[in-house]
Amino acid sequence: MEINEQSKSNYALLMTALVTGAFLMSLASSTINIALPYLMGHFNTSLDMVKWTMTGFMLATGIMAPITCYFGEKFSYKRTYLISITGFTLCSLLCIASWNVQSLIAFRILQGIFNGFAVPSTMSIIYQVVPREKQGFSISLWSLSAMLAPAFGPTLSGWLIQIFDWKAIFLINIPFGIIAILLIIKAIPFYKLNPPASFDLFGFTTCLAASILLLTTFSEAAKWGWTSPTTIIFMAVGLIVLTVFIIRELKAKNPILNLSIFKNKGFTVSVIIRSVITMGLYAGSLLTPLFLQNAQHLSALDVGLILLPSSLVMALSMLIVGKLCNRVDPRIFVITGVISMAVGSYFLSHLTVDSSHTYVVVYMMLRNMGIALATSPITNIGMSSLDRKLVGSGSSVNNWVTQSIGCLSIGIFTSLLTFQAKQHAVDLVKTGDALKLSKELISDKSFVMGINDVYFISMIIVLIAVPICFLLKRSNPHQQKSVSVSSKVTTVE
């Protein structure tokens, strides 16, 4: 494809609009964690209450993901994305104006709803507008922007709160939001590929209900107990409603989410592999900070600095993958990435209370390099195998599954860690080691042993993806055309 200077400029503006939004959404997710203790003090409330500023945001994001396809196809992804970013930015102002913790939670949930629409919209725009041969590089840039925010978010959050106030973590969203809004208006073309003829209200209702029930179960099961009546009831009802939704969508003339995409083998295999990678990703993002803070008793700022090199390696690896994705078989990246994740997880399953920070940095770098090598190519393989008219459904499914697996992973790994740590503490007492160790050292040692167990389990989960990778077929980057990116507003009927 011949690309002149004008089209290069248009492509650059388009990608800037998309990555700015992706960075903004990811930044809002990663800065709140450090602020929780300050919010507890400011509003004089408990951790269980203030955690809903984070949990509510995640749940709302996951709930909206599967229905984004309808709104994007009906009103165009440009409008959906523009309204999402505008609403998200306004919600940041509302968060600043919060008068109690309940109002802050409500505004964060509303912010999560807009976030849930924005993320699938950006992915859909990439695969419907960007030229096919540039989609691999584009999704790498998109992923990079989403990964950079968690890398710098905690450190930035700690600095802003220390210098200014907790409200500063919401104030910083506003300039990014305004820039994204202006870029969306200027750079993203208006188009509609396959507008639905009618609204499937029953499908919409069952989709929302299933998402709310299952995501709430995955998020709260560690606290409720996996065998508690509440967990079992929520899980059972959620699965029943999900089954009803699937049956409905397979029979509906105008489904809210086109599930026929799972007939595409490449897409289905990519979703399975991405789910496994996501579980491995969340294991590291949960376990390593807990090890550094709870076992080695480091400050949040020190933890952020220790984890920074691995995040930078991830960013660099994504850029390299993006540049080489059309020259190298993407399956090589995926398999190499999965194996790197597994090797890194194996060595991180041998931590001790006295493990050096260099040890942690090296194997987190290896692990994060693997995540970068695998994530963008597997996403591109699946999404590029779909017809453009099915890309919206594919994007919604991808993001819904990722959000669900994230909530499920955190719940399972948290429960496993708690159980294994308690079991190791009992074993230490039984073997007589308790006589040689103080109560605090027993707690630290048993906690680290629990982390090692969970890291080992995550390694086994990641290795499951290796044989599945051989089911993938290499995608053809020149197979189909996309909506052209022009300097003017483009309408595709």
47-82: pLDDT as tens digits: 678 878 887 888 888 888 778 888 888 888 899 999
Residues 109, 178, single domain; the answer is yes
Do 209 and 304 belong together in one domain?
no
Q: Domain check: are 243 and 313 in the same one?
A: no
Burial 238-274 (b: 16+ CB within 10 A, else e): beebbebbbebbeebeebbbbbebeebebbbbbbbbb
Dihedral, CA atoms, 13, 18, 24, 29, nearest 10 degrees?
Answer: -160
pLDDT band at 340 (very low <50, low <70, confident <90, very high): very high
Of the chain, the end-to-end C-alpha distance in Å amounts to 23
Instruction: With a cut of 70, say whether residue 224 has pLDDT above it.
Output: yes
The closest alpha carbon to 464, from 215, 239, 262, 278, belongs to 278
Asked if residue 148 is part of any domain, the answer here is: yes
Q: Are residues 369 and 225 in the same domain?
A: no
Domain hosting residue 207, numbered range: 202-253
**Percent helix, strand and coil across the chain, each to the nearest 5:** 80, 0, 20
Same domain? 286 vs 236 = no
Whether residue 65 sits in one domain with residue 137 = yes
Q: Are 127 and 208 within one domain?
A: no
Q: Is residue 478 part of a domain?
A: no
pLDDT score of 488 more than 60? no
Among 134-148, 365-379, 425-439, name the most confident range. Answer: 365-379
* pLDDT band, very low/low/confident/very high, at 345 (cuts 50, 70, 90): very high
* For range 263-281, the mean pLDDT: 88
The DSSP line for 66-83 is GGHHHHHHHH-HHHHHHH
pLDDT tens string 94-109: 999 999 989 999 999 9
pLDDT in tens, 159-209: 787 788 888 889 989 998 999 999 999 888 887 777 777 788 888 889 888
pLDDT digits (tens, 9 = 90+) for 245-260: 889 888 888 787 778 8
Q: Based on the domain organization, do 34 and 111 belong to the same domain?
A: yes
Q: Is residue 149 scored above 70 in pLDDT?
A: yes
Other CB atoms within a 10 A radius of the CB of residue 89 amount to: 20
Q: Mean pLDDT in the chain?
A: 82
Q: Is 59 exposed, middle or buried (0-12, 13-18, 19+ CB in 10 A)?
A: buried
pLDDT higher than threshold 50 for residue 487? no
Counting the structural domains of the chain, the total is 2
* Between 8 and 158, the higher pLDDT residue: 158
At residue 439 the predicted structure's pLDDT band, cuts being 50, 70 and 90, is low
Residue 42 sits in the same domain as residue 137: yes
Lowest model confidence (mean pLDDT) among 137-141, 343-347, 401-405, 477-481: 477-481
Do 103 and 244 have their domain in common? no
Question: What's the pLDDT tens digit per position in 349-406?
Answer: 999 888 899 999 999 999 989 988 888 888 888 888 888 778 888 888 888 888 778 7
Same domain, 436 and 337: yes
- Domain check: are 327 and 377 in the same one? yes
- Express each pLDDT in 283-295 by its tens digit: 887 788 888 878 8
- The Cα–Cα gap between 76 and 67 comes to 14
